[in-house]
Amino acid sequence: MIVWQKEADLTRQNSLGFSVCAERYLKVEDLEQLRLALDEVKANNWPLLILGGGSNLVLADYLPGAVISVGCQGVRVLADDEDQAIVEVGAGENWHGFVGKLLEMGLHGLENLALIPGSVGAAPVQNIGAYGVELADCFHSLTAYDREQDELVQLNAEDCRFGYRDSLFKSVAPGRYIIWQVRFSLRTVFQPRLEYKALANHLKAEGIGQPGAQQVYQAVCEIRNSKLPVPTLIGNAGSFFENPVVTAEQHEQLKLQFPELVSYPDQPGFYKLAAGWLIDQAGWKGHNAGAVGVYEKQALVLVNHGGGDAQQLLQLAGQIRDSVQKKFAVSLKMEPRVYPG
């Protein structure tokens, strides 16, 4: 038996803190409940949103149809040997809590992804990444419910088609799969990943030459806390735009015009630009438009100071996009998903 909650308030379930009401909402605790809920969704042809931590979503005031969140919990070691372990985790677990648990278990690889808001099940959807590491680096496989075949499927890294902030679940087959459990391949011996300059510099400044796992985890938390707003205090959805990739030719022209341009080499022949720098240079950092605005410490993050809504935020995002296009001839792509689209 399942009982939908009618006219459910999701204000606390979206990190932007928008006042959102779902026509019906259900948190499923097991696969039987998930199947029953999906049967009903299908029979009634309801639009469906699968809600994770709600940290990468721009939600409208009213969500018609159904919203389901996955409650699958638990962290367990499936296999381990001297060098590595395979760990399976429920999609409903909190991501940061999971990273902390791995640290306690002495299993390594995800330290740089500490403090990313959201659930484990949402993490593969946009292949979360930070400080030189992305989920795909430690990903083993996952179990998902395939709504097209009406069955559970196991997908490996290749199946998931991970890219920069992208995957099968985001751009190839959105809405088809409901991620239930994710498996990671983790190392028993810690090897720090310090390619990201801000992280290496932070550790150096603290006089830490050969950091341990706890120190890297701690440093990542400190950097994030210094730059990014805590969603429970200031509503936000992390980076609001992807860092755009341009050709080497366009990069060269931009660099001539803007010698301070912040960029990183990407695939051969391409460069990734720091969208935060572009937005900052276009004069938006700290700008407020009523209840919404651009975070004062990181221009890539749009915020809701309280009482804002999707319409206001998207209007501001559109203005930012237009002005960056005009100044740099670079088009910004939004990172969070807008629902209903």
Where do contacts with ligand EPU occur on this chain (CB under 6 A)? 130-131, 196, 198, 227, 238-239, 242-243, 262, 274, 276-277, 280, 285, 298-300, 335
Nearest 10 degrees: Cα torsion 298, 301, 304, 309 = 160
State the nearest-atom distance from the C-beta of 141 to ligand EPU, in Å.
23
**Whether residue 239 lies in the annotated active site:** yes
- Pick the closer one to ligand EPU by CB: 235 or 238: 238
Q: Which of 24, 55, 165, 321 is catalytic?
A: 165
What is the spatial distance between Cα 140 and Cα 142, in angstroms, rounded to a whole number? 7
Cα dist. 81→86, 87, 110, 264 in Å?
9, 12, 18, 37
Q: Which of 147, 176, 335, 337 is catalytic?
A: 335
**Whether residue 176 lies in the annotated active site:** no
State the nearest-atom distance from the C-beta of 262 to ligand EPU, in Å.
4
- Pick the closer one to ligand EPU by CB: 183 or 285: 285
State the nearest-atom distance from the C-beta of 182 to ligand EPU, in Å.
18
- Pick the closer one to ligand EPU by CB: 159 or 335: 335
Cα dist. 309→54, 59, 64, 129 in Å?
15, 8, 17, 27
Q: Which of 134, 239, 263, 321 is catalytic?
A: 239
Torsion 164-167-172-176 (CA) sign: negative
Residue whose C-beta lies closest to ligand EPU: 238
Secondary structure tally for the chain: helices H, strands E: 8, 21
- Pick the closer one to ligand EPU by CB: 87 or 301: 301
Cα dist. 64→34, 60, 189, 216, 327 in Å?
19, 10, 48, 43, 39
Q: Residue 283: how many CB atoms within 10 A of its CB?
A: 13
Token pair of 49, please?
């949103």
Active site residues: 165, 239, 335
